[in-house]
Amino acid sequence: MANRTIDRYAMANDASHYLLIPKAVASPQNLSEISALLRKQFESGHPLTFRSGGTSLSGQGVTEELLVDTRSGFRGMEILDGGKRIRVEPGVSVREVNNRLKSYGFKFGPDPASEIAATIGGVIANNSSGMLCGTEANAYQTIESMKIVFSDGSLFDTASPSADADFYKLQPILHDQLMAIKKIIDNRPDLQKEIARQFSGKNTMGYGINSFIDFHTPTNILLHLMIGSEGTLAFVSEATFRTVPIKPFATSALLFFDSMRAANDALPSLVDSGAAAIELLDKTSLLVAQRDPKAISRMKSLSIKEHAGLIVEYQELSASELQNRESQAKDVLSRLKLSSPSSFTQELRTRNDLWHVRKNLYATVAGARPSGTTAMLEDIAVPVHQLATTCESLTNLFEKHRYKDNVIFGHAKNGNIHFMLNEDFTDSASRVRYERFTDELVDFVLADGGTLKAEHGTGRIMAPFVERQYGTELYSFMVAIKRAFDPKGILNPDVIISSDSKIHLKNFKTSPVVEEEVDRCVECGYCEQSCPSKHLTLTPRQRIVIRRAIATAKLDGNSTVVRELNKAFEYDGIQTCAADGICSVSCPLHINTGDLVKRLRLEKSSPLSELIWKFTSKNWSQSLSVVRAGITIAHKAPLLSKIATKSLRALFGDEALPYMDGTISPGKKRTATNSDKPDLIYLPSCTGEIFGPSGQSNFEEICAKAGLKIYIPEEISNICCGTPWKSKGMKHGANHNSQENNALAENLAKLGVPVVSDNSSCSEGFISSLNGMQVIDAPTFLAKYAIDKLQITKIGSVVVHPTCSSTKLDESAGLLTIAAALAHEVIVPPNWGCCAFAGDRGLLHPELTKSATADEVGFIKNTGADSYVSTNRTCEIAMSSASGKNHVSILDLLNKQIIQR
């Protein structure tokens, strides 16, 4: 149980606009631990709330009681029947499931846009869906069985051959209550009709009482009631699903209409034609999308008045099926009243651009919101024929309440639309405005025959309106269901069922103005899974949340919280951030929390360390010699070096000196090469000088074998990309290095050839420091200009550890091309991630690298391969030490495998 202030505050926030600080955080790791925890809470009557990916938007994942993190444990997964089914535990993300299923040609049915972070537990509990799955492939339709832990800690497996009898034995009151409700509904056609109407489309309001008309056995009713129950009925510890086949052939089109009504009129024929996805963009969405650099030219040139757009996609299993579908679709298109002619395209780049623009709408609007406001993403659905009326009412409502830039977009096929509101909840007038807006929204959505939540769950935001949507009788069944499952009311109180009619207006999240990165963040949680410090200390979202919590506590005058958070943040937030910036890749707003941390380091750096680092920048070659001498001593006298390091760290702090275990020896000093009319400028990395073996000779030899002439500048021993100073936040050293590199760039540019570096993080550094010059990472360069000229003896298999730099640079393809040329089998660990070595961070904090690499190492240890490669010297050291398998530079392996002609 974690009770530190920083743990409670870091876990408090999810993606919703509600904030409650939990009393404590528990992280049960398996079935017996969660069962024991529930039993204890049941006996004491103290409530708890499950939290998995924390991407919920309706306030169903926050609490001021006990918060139970169910993502750090519950990570098992088993592929069944060649991918047709999957057994999975709730802490696994949708993306992880799909990564595993991909090679079998299948995918998980539910497809929320948040798949990078949303977990199976969250998808089940929210009955999440997306652009494609509709109501045909959601969790309700694809679930086969579940292991359930009831509120009293008892366990039930719905797959048991004697499930109905077991259920009765275990929970007789609940069993009888469900069957009593079933009996009433079975005898009342009017209720059956109303339930069927409510659930004719996407609907996540209240409990899934369609279970009573769709299923007959008590176990099946129970199983399907669990879908969409938002952690208020029981815990799901494992689930088995049917999967859906991946349809790899696709064609897409962007259609413009003169009005929302015209777009709406087109929907029935498009739906009937079997479109896999039909996404709506209202007038404001089109205006926002026009600003996106990837917007296709037809979108950019449209003169938008009252227009609306539909992005339509067909997907099929084979090229011939797609061909048929496309020709039918052309027919449909010819009958539609479009604003301008349109056609379908199978071309990947155009399709990617179309979908990028659609998916980027949320990020663009959220990223541009005024600092200090909280973003809310709303989610309603109406019968498809009502869509235009509802959108018009919504637009009028925005105007009436003076909400600006509110894009309306969504899954038109299902009548499901989303819109964003930005609100400053510190302002009482804004809170009143939000209340009035919500009341009016509820009025017209229900009048249009819609649902107040289509896929995001009822949460707290719509709990007060469940009775209005369903009527008193159906609502009374829901209250009875909740009581029967959770007689002591300990599971996620006030979510779905609440006696507080104002619960949706309480505990709003406020967003104090803090730092640029912090202010833009919408706390969606997309960045968490890729962060190397996530298991050790904090995730990027949590770093941001703590910055906000400190600012809020300062405003509230809560000095104890400020002190405790600041103290713990030093290690949890600052020292153990690898500053690798991999979080920016998964963040929809491209927020690089590493940049924030670097600035915070800068603020904390002492004048002495600034002076020392400035000196190193001015005397880089000599500084490298000193470091190399230190490494030589540590290599030759490891024990002595360990004692000295420990003592110095005890005196001057953990950041004073890195740990050297004596296994590393220095590389060779870099040397210049002058050649006439070179094909490339080569800047060997200084990491090869510090941590041997040096990469320079390998790259030079490969180029020579491929007939490429290289140029290495005279001053190479003094050249550095600048990353050491930037990552440590040493302003003066960084400035000096930047001046040097500006001058270098000016000279090198005269040669008119690209710059290549052999360490991916240095390539990344040179891209930003050699202004405007073309800089290419060595594997990418060799894949493009050398590999075809070389004869290679292939090895059996190679494990590749792509680096975060090559991922950020989008240069992993080059690395994989070389790997494919080198080995018959190329294995990229599916759970690979940043190793967090990050220059010297892995030496300063070995526990960070150990934690960051644990999952990947587990995979590597079970995978025998002939060789293990990467493209960053420090990552190779980190992965070798963590896995016990010697990781070398891919250049090293390539050089060895080239057959000399």
Ligand X SMILES: Cc1cc2nc3c(=O)[nH]c(=O)nc-3n(C[C@H](O)[C@H](O)[C@H](O)COP(=O)(O)OP(=O)(O)OC[C@H]3O[C@@H](n4cnc5c(N)ncnc54)[C@H](O)[C@@H]3O)c2cc1C
DSSP conformation class of 900: P
- The residue number with the shortest CB distance to ligand X is 122
- ∠ CA(161), CA(164), CA(168), 5° rounding? 135
One-letter amino acid at 573 equals: G
Residue 264 or 761: the one with the smaller Cβ distance to ligand SF4 is 761
541 near ligand SF4 (CB under 6 A):
yes
For residue 856, the partner it binds in ligand X, ligand SF4, none, with Cβ less than 5 to 8 A by kind, is none
Please classify residue 490 by burial: count the beta carbons closer than 10 Å to its beta carbon, then call 0-12 exposed, 13-18 middle and 19+ buried.
buried
Q: Which stretch binds ligand X (CB under 6 A): 335-343, 428-436, 454-462, 846-854?
A: 454-462
d(CA 395, CA 400): 9
For residue 14, the partner it binds in ligand SF4, ligand X, none, with Cβ less than 5 to 8 A by kind, is ligand X
Q: Which stretch binds ligand X (CB under 6 A): 121-129, 550-558, 612-620, 652-660?
A: 121-129
DSSP conformation class of 93: B
Residues 472 to 531 in contact with ligand X, rule: CB under 6 A = 492, 524
For residue 484, the partner it binds in ligand X, ligand SF4, none, with Cβ less than 5 to 8 A by kind, is none
For residue 125, the partner it binds in ligand SF4, ligand X, none, with Cβ less than 5 to 8 A by kind, is ligand X
Residues 218 to 257 in contact with ligand X, rule: CB under 6 A = 230-231, 235-236
579 near ligand SF4 (CB under 6 A):
yes
For residue 119, the partner it binds in ligand SF4, ligand X, none, with Cβ less than 5 to 8 A by kind, is ligand X
376 near ligand SF4 (CB under 6 A):
no
Q: Kindly state the number of chain residues that form the binding site for ligand SF4, as judged by CB under 6 A.
A: 27
DSSP secondary structure of 13-28: --SSSB----SEEE--
453 near ligand X (CB under 6 A):
no
SS3 state of residue 169? helix
SS3 breakdown of the chain: % helix, strand, coil, rounded to 5? 50, 15, 35
Binding ligand X by CB under 6 A: which of 27, 52, 593, 780? 52
- The residue number with the shortest CB distance to ligand SF4 is 594
DSSP secondary structure of 760-810: HHHHHHHHHHSTT--EEEHHHHHHHHTGGG--B--EEEEEE---HHHHHTT
Structure tokens at 22: 């939990």
Q: Which stretch binds ligand X (CB under 6 A): 54-62, 159-167, 215-223, 482-490?
A: 54-62
d(CA 14, CA 18): 8
For residue 326, the partner it binds in ligand SF4, ligand X, none, with Cβ less than 5 to 8 A by kind, is none
d(CA 259, CA 281): 11
Residues 122 to 161 in contact with ligand X, rule: CB under 6 A = 122-123, 125-126, 128-130
DSSP secondary structure of 56-86: -SSS-S--SSEEEE-SSS---EEEEGGGTEE
Closest distance of CB 597 from ligand SF4, Å:
6
d(CA 594, CA 561): 24
d(CA 262, CA 258): 6
Residue 238 or 689: the one with the smaller Cβ distance to ligand X is 238
Q: Which stretch binds ligand X (CB under 6 A): 47-55, 603-611, 761-769, 801-809?
A: 47-55
d(CA 159, CA 162): 8
Residue 113 or 826: the one with the smaller Cβ distance to ligand X is 113
Please classify residue 669 by burial: count the beta carbons closer than 10 Å to its beta carbon, then call 0-12 exposed, 13-18 middle and 19+ buried.
middle
CA dihedral 54, 55, 58, 61 (to 10 degrees): -10
SS3 state of residue 88? strand
312 near ligand SF4 (CB under 6 A):
no
Residues 481 to 540 in contact with ligand SF4, rule: CB under 6 A = 521-527, 531-533, 540
- Residue 854 main-chain phi, psi, to 5 deg: -55, -50
d(CA 176, CA 272): 42
d(CA 561, CA 872): 40
577 near ligand SF4 (CB under 6 A):
yes
For residue 235, the partner it binds in ligand SF4, ligand X, none, with Cβ less than 5 to 8 A by kind, is ligand X
Residues 588 to 607 in contact with ligand SF4, rule: CB under 6 A = 589, 591, 593-594, 597
57 near ligand X (CB under 6 A):
yes
For residue 523, the partner it binds in ligand X, ligand SF4, none, with Cβ less than 5 to 8 A by kind, is ligand SF4
Cis status of the peptide bond prior to 829, with omega within 30 of 0: no
Binding ligand X by CB under 6 A: which of 47, 61, 688, 814? 61
For residue 589, the partner it binds in ligand SF4, ligand X, none, with Cβ less than 5 to 8 A by kind, is ligand SF4
Cα maximum dimension of the chain: 92
- Residue 295 main-chain phi, psi, to 5 deg: -60, 135
Structure tokens at 303: 């003169």
Residue 822 or 835: the one with the smaller Cβ distance to ligand SF4 is 835
49 near ligand X (CB under 6 A):
yes
Which residues are near ligand SF4 by CB under 6 A? Answer: 521-527, 531-533, 540-541, 543-544, 577-583, 587, 589, 591, 593-594, 597
Which residues are near ligand X by CB under 6 A? Answer: 14-15, 49-57, 60-61, 70, 90, 112-114, 118-119, 121-123, 125-126, 128-130, 230-231, 235-236, 362, 455-457, 492, 524
